[in-house]
Amino acid sequence: MGEQHIKVLRAKYEKADLLQEKPDVLVGARTSVSDGLVSHATLLRIEGRYEGTVPSTVGDVIIGEHGELVGSVRGARACVVLGKVHGSVH
């Protein structure tokens, strides 16, 4: 995926800074979550497949290059999409 596929929503800082942060929750490349509902305080990084809603009232979300979200992200402070999203980002 190229730079044009990166979307940052409501970010207060550069996307490069966000990509360097250590996540609180990591859905790994060989991990699949279905019917998921995860909440987190600071940073969630998805490198595998995640099905469900990611509600984040104060945190950030990264969908990594190999990550796939089937569902939605709601209320994230910032969201960087390098992979695939089949749903919506609010």
For residue 83, pLDDT over 50 is answered with: yes
Three-state DSSP class for 41? Answer: coil
Q: Quick check: pTM over 0.85? A: no
Q: Taking Cα atoms as reference points, which of 73, 71, 50 lies closest to residue 61?
A: 73
Instruction: Please identify which residue in the block is written with the tokens 């990084």.
Output: 45
9-62 pLDDT, tens digit per residue, is 444 445 667 778 888 778 888 777 777 667 666 888 999 999 988 876 668 889
